Structure 1
Amino acid sequence: MPLPDGSASINFASSGHSGLSQRHFIGNTSAMGFHHVAIAIHDTKANYQFYTEVMGFELVKTVTAPTPEGGYSKHFFYSTGQTSSGEQGMIAFWEIHVESLEGFETNLNKGAGLPWWANHLAFDAPTVADFERHRERWRAHGQTVLEVDHDFCRSIYIRDPEGNTVEFCLTTRDFTPEEKAHALELLLDPNPPMEKTFGAKIWQPEGDPILLPSG
């Protein structure tokens, strides 16, 4: 039910979800972004070429240091540009030289036994022009691009040299109070209703997109 300040609350005890607080406030939170996410890689050269040329990011800092396991590491920081909220985005990668760690899996989904779409890195595309510019740059570099309309946002996807899925995402509208309340209701629902799937298309490096059926 609505609270006096206009936010929402849900009585989890009455819905059988006694493990959570009975009152959960929606909204009134301070904005917070990631400083960076760090991922281990194997092919530093291919990674650099991909994230600078294909993604359009800039390598801004490399930190070298010994590791507790006896080897050493390089830690690469790439600027992803400024987000729609004015924050400076970054992503980082590890090149790890430790004999006991050789052969580790760098594909996040493969290592977890998950499909390609589960774990992924989504970067902000603040405007339609930015979104389309990223998509066309990907295509110009020979990438086949999946584009999906999620209703509240539009996304494009490809994979990096380690096999990890990367995304540029354009937010197309604000969330409604009803959506926020419904999100909390679905949080622990063992039998949630299925939502409509929205349109998707495949962009080859050249030519018109291939439309995929929606349901």
Structure 2
Amino acid sequence: MARSNPEFQLGGINHLALVCSDMRRTIDFYSGVLGMPLIKTIELAGGLGQHFFFDCGNGDCLAFFWFTDTPDGVPGVSAPRGLPGSGELLSAVGSMNHVAFDVPAERFDEYRQRLIDKGIAVSPVMNHDDSPLGVAPKLQDGVFVRSVYFQDPDGILLEFACWTREMTEDDVRHEPRTGADRRAAATPA
């Protein structure tokens, strides 16, 4: 799926930095449940907090800040309220909606079951396709990626995803929407 970048030689994601409420619980989940090695820990100057890094594969990292004075997240604003297929997908502009980890297609079903066996609530398998609903009830030729969603202890939406086919020029065909196309959000009373 690699495409050439004529502007910058990017090697993927160095790290994605998220915010957690409890670094010990975050380590227990990402290293203990998902098996990601903790590779770097930092105490921030002035008692501001901590910044820890987990290896999530291929030299990429998932990092977490723990701040002494951070506000709590707001479901439906900071992150989606629930799992796709059984909750809302909506989150605010500037938020991080979810993190998708690439998994081998041949191990997708096994990995979903492993999460279940570890007591993690998971979404139904989502076979993403170009149908009007965007999801097929079963794996078929039009499916381009398979996904299963779950949440970390702070409600961060995570995904195990596997590509099922190579993308082509035909996969880029929609006109991009603009800010003018958005509906105004309801203002709280």
CA distance in structure 2 between the aligned counterparts of 1:135 and 1:76, rounded to whole angstroms = 26
Which residue in the other structure is 1:124 paired with?
102
Residues 35 and 164 of structure 1, relative CA distance in 2, 3 Å threshold: same
1:163 equivalenced with 2:130 (yes/no): no
Indicate the residue corresponding to 2:49 in structure 1. 73
Shift of 1:113: 7.6
Percent identity of paired positions between Structure 1 and Structure 2: 29
- Could you tell me which residue of structure 2 aligns to residue 154 of structure 1? 146
Distance 1:137 1:113 in 2: 24
Query: Unaligned stretches of 5+ in structure 1?
Result: 1-26, 83-87, 192-215
Rate the CA distance shift 1:93–1:28 in 2: closer, same or farther, 3 A: closer
Q: Structure 1: which amino acid aligns with 2:20?
A: I
Given the alignment of the two structures, is residue 59 of structure 1 paired with residue 48 of structure 2, yes or no? no
Amino acid corresponding to residue 43 of structure 2 in structure 1: T
Given the alignment of the two structures, is residue 46 of structure 1 paired with residue 22 of structure 2, yes or no?
no
1: CA distance, partners of 2:79 / 2:113: 32
CA apart distance, 1:188: 2.8
Shift in Å at residue 126 of structure 1?
3.2
> Which of 69, 92, 105 is equivalent to 2:72?
105
Q: Which residue identity does 1:72 align to in structure 2? A: L
User: What is the root-mean-square deviation in Å for CA atoms of aligned residues?
Assistant: 2.4
Unaligned runs of at least 5 residues, structure 2: 83-88, 91-96, 129-142, 182-189
Distance in 2 (alpha carbons) for counterparts of 1:57 and 1:160: 13
- Structure of greater Rg: 1
Partner of 1:6: none
CA contact (8 A) 2:126 2:146 kept: yes
Amino acid in structure 2 at the alignment position of 1:105: D
Q: How many angstroms does 1:74 deviate by?
A: 1.2
* TM-score normalised according to structure 2 size: 0.68
- Match of 1:74, as an amino acid? Q
How far 1:89 moved relative to its partner? 1.9
- Given the alignment of the two structures, is residue 188 of structure 1 paired with residue 159 of structure 2, yes or no? no
